[in-house]
Amino acid sequence: MNLDDAAAYAEIFGLVTILGAAIYSWFQIKELRRSRDNTTAMSLAANFQSEDFVIGLTAIMNMNFDKSKFAPGDDQANFEAFAEHFGEKWPKVMTVLTTWESIGVLIHRGDMDFHAFYDLFSGVIIKTYESFAFYFDPIREDENSKDMEWFIWLADRIIEFEKEGSGTAPAHIAFQNWKPPKRLP
């Protein structure tokens, strides 16, 4: 074998090595993303195990707020009206609202999988948004207000997703024929 042949084989070997490394890296990146998405989903699901979150969400789901006590534009009066309405549960309700706000940012940045979030929380996000719509609508109209901006953004994305027909029916309907995979011996 002469020097030219050896150089050609070395180039081929180098190219195969680089290509193999690129393919391996691609698979590793996919696996890391899947791992991150699984960790995120577990973290989201863990919210339902937090007493503050569960109490706050339950208070929102059963909210029957007297809207006559709400004064658009008067943040202090509104805070007091919410605090009075929810009583000792108000900090827990705020825990839920600020969780939704934080998740909106994370989804927008791509740090959280929208679909995992949608499957876990789309119903309660819409219910939360509808419960507070009388409060959020004036914020939406004020182009300078940053109050609950990411929660409003997130609710809008879920509503759009469902209007496009991309959303799913409730799990008990959409997946009624689902069977767990057979367990291997």
Q: Give the residue-averaged pLDDT of 115-139.
A: 86
pLDDT by residue (tens digit) across 74-113? Answer: 778 888 888 888 999 999 999 999 889 988 998 898 888 8
% of residues, the chain, pLDDT over 70: 95
What pLDDT score was predicted for residue 153? 93
CA distances 40 to 84, 107, 113, Å, are 34, 11, 8
Give CA angle at 150 (148, 153), nearest 5°. Answer: 110
Residues making up the chain, counted from first to last: 185
DSSP, res 148: T
pLDDT by residue (tens digit) across 13-58? Answer: 888 888 888 888 888 888 877 777 677 666 766 767 788 888 999 9
Q: Which of 22-26, 101-105, 146-150, 163-167 has the highest mean pLDDT?
A: 101-105
Count each helix (H run) and each strand (E run) in the chain, helices first: 8, 0
Question: Which is higher by pLDDT, 66 or 158?
Answer: 158
Q: Give the residue-averaged pLDDT of 174-181.
A: 87
Q: What CA–CA distance (Å, rounded) separates 52 from 146?
A: 25
pLDDT at 158 over 90: yes
Of the ranges 7-11, 35-39, 111-115, 160-164, which one carries the lowest mean pLDDT score? 35-39
CA distances 44 to 76, 89, 97, 105, Å, are 31, 21, 14, 14
Instruction: Report whether 134 contacts 78 (CB < 8 A).
Output: no
What pLDDT score was predicted for residue 41? 67
Sign of the alpha-carbon torsion through 154, 157, 162, 167 = negative
pLDDT, the chain, mean: 84
